[in-house]
């Protein structure tokens, strides 16, 4: 990991490297209309860099990116070779968007809400509090017009987004005091990023921004009273069960956070059609794999957390959830006013949410509530 990354030198080096390449874009185009592989550029090899917002080999998310690169290598017979960089290895995690945009890396993996500071609507493509679960969000993106909006948003930046995994429902976090009523949230210092943090603020709490690596110490030393991270698998590996007593459900702030693959449009356009199809197919495989992996590992590690002495799993009361829900509605309506595109995205999201909630309430909700599992 090069913490002292020299940006200037990197871009200078890259510019020289790019100019020194023996092939221009034209070289990738068919020389003549023939049906042999060679003539349509099938013998050309591509080397891509993939930058990610996750620590190297981070469970599920970082691992998934390595699998993604392997699948593409296998499917393309090595014609598209992607080197995966963990966050901080090539560029800091939060520079992934700009790095792929600039073409310094051809592809990236992250979560679109990291860019919500400059693209407020990007929040909807990752997660909003009391939004959609993984299955519903994928339905909006893939079959409900969400991805078209996302593509429209990223096109202005020369990027192509593809859904690249989902965390599934997250947990409501770790607490060292009981949260029985909304009043218990007053003055609560909690690691809670994004719009979830704004909701907590409306409830009288104080959201604290802490990077993943700082949460354990913050909670242990009492700098914060509570923290949310992901779900049983990642939380157990962070060791929160050793320093917090109550593990609350559900993760109302992240019911199913969608991850993203972003591709530099120019780099993508230079690929022959079969490699384009391979990249998209591998992305959809990753989307499926990440969610499946989260669900399987979370089940396994929930059992380990339950076996841990001194940890109690609690459910937020209906009163708390209903109150937070109304604050979330307000916070999301505020977000929707950011700009015309965010408003359009919000309207599409809301309309989809309304319909799919009706469907879910007569389908899966019945199964979960009324049938002894």
Q: Summarize as ranges the residues that interact with Ca ion (CB under 5 A).
A: 170, 254
Q: Least distance (Å) from Ca ion to the CB of residue 136?
A: 18
What does the alpha-carbon distance between residue 90 and residue 49 come to, in Å, rounded to a whole number?
A: 9
Number of neighbours of residue 103 by Cβ within 10 angstroms: 15
**Of the two residues 106 and 170, which places its CB atom closer to Ca ion in the complex?**
170
Nearest Cα neighbor of 232 from 298, 314, 306, 166 is 298
- Quick check: bond before 56 cis, omega within 30? no
How near is the Cβ of 327 to Ca ion at its closest, in Å? Answer: 18
Q: How far apart are CA 129 and CA 194, in angstroms?
A: 9
What b/e sequence results for 14-32 when a residue is b if at least 16 CB atoms lie within 10 Å of its CB, and e otherwise? eeeeeeeeeeeeeebeeee
Q: Which is nearer to Ca ion, 138 or 167 (CB)?
A: 167
Nearer to Ca ion, 230 or 278 (CB): 230
Q: HSE (CB half, 13 Å, CA atoms) of 33?
A: 0
Q: How far is the CB of 132 from Ca ion (least distance, A)?
A: 16
Using CB atoms within 10 Å of the CB of residue 118, give its burial: 0 to 12 exposed, 13 to 18 middle, 19+ buried. Answer: exposed
Min dist. Cβ of residue 228 to Ca ion (A) = 5
C-beta closer to Ca ion: residue 113 or 289: 113
**Of residues 270 and 293, the one with the C-beta less far from Ca ion:** 293
Closest among 124, 129, 131 to 149, alpha carbons compared = 124
- Nearer CB in complex with Ca ion: 145/193: 193
* Cβ closest to Ca ion, residue 254 vs residue 260: 254
CA angle in degrees (0–180, nearest 5) for 10-12-17: 90
Least CB distance from residue 347 to Ca ion, whole Å?
26
Least distance from Ca ion to the Cβ atom of residue 253, Å? 7
Radius of gyration (Cα) for the chain, nearest Å?
22
Q: Given CA atoms 46, 50, 56, 60 in this order, what sign does their dihedral have?
A: negative
Q: How far is the CB of 263 from Ca ion (least distance, A)?
A: 25
| Shortest distance in whole angstroms from residue 217 CB to Ca ion | 18
Strand 246-249 and strand 312-315: the pairing is: parallel
By beta-carbon proximity to Ca ion, the closer residue of 150 and 252 is 252
How far CA 311 is from CA of 174, 177, 185, in Å, comes to 10, 12, 20
């Amino acid at each position: 990991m090069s913490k002292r990354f020299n940006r200037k030198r990197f871009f200078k080096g890259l510019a020289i490297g790019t100019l020194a390449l023996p092939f221009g874009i034209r070289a990738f185009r068919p020389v003549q209309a023939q049906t042999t592989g060679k003539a349509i550029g099938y013998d050309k090899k591509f080397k891509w860099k993939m930058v990610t917002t996750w620590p190297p080999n981070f469970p599920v998310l970082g691992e998934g990116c390595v699998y993604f690169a392997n699948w593409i290598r296998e499917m393309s017979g090595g014609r598209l070779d992607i080197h995966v960089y963990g966050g901080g290895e090539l560029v800091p995690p939060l520079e992934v968007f700009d790095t792929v945009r600039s073409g310094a890396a051809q592809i990236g993996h992250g979560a679109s809400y990291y860019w919500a500071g400059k693209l407020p609507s990007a929040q909807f493509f990752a997660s909003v509090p009391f939004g959609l679960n993984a299955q519903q969000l994928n339905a909006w993106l893939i079959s409900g017009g969400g991805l078209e909006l996302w593509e429209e948003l990223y096109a202005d930046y020369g990027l192509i987004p593809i859904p690249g995994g989902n965390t599934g429902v997250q947990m409501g976090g770790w607490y060292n005091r009981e949260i029985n009523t909304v009043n218990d949230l007053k003055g609560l210092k909690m690691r809670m990023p994004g719009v979830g943090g704004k909701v907590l603020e409306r409830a009288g709490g104080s959201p604290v921004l802490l990077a993943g690596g700082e949460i354990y110490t913050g909670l242990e030393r009492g700098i914060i009273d509570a923290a949310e991270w992901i779900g049983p698998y990642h939380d157990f590996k962070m060791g929160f069960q050793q320093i917090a007593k109550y593990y609350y459900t559900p993760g109302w702030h992240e019911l199913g956070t969608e991850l993203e693959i972003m591709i530099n449009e120019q780099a993508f356009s230079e690929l022959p059609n079969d490699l384009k199809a391979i990249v998209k197919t591998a992305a959809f495989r990753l989307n499926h794999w990440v969610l499946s992996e989260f669900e399987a590992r979370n089940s396994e590690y929930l059992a380990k957390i339950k076996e841990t002495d001194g940890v109690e799993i609690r459910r937020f009361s209906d009163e708390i959830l209903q109150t937070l829900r109304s604050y979330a509605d307000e916070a999301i309506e505020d977000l929707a006013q950011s700009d015309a595109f965010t408003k359009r995205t919000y309207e599409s999201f809301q309309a989809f949410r309304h319909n799919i909630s009706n469907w879910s309430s007569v389908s899966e909700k019945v199964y979960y509530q009324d049938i002894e599992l």
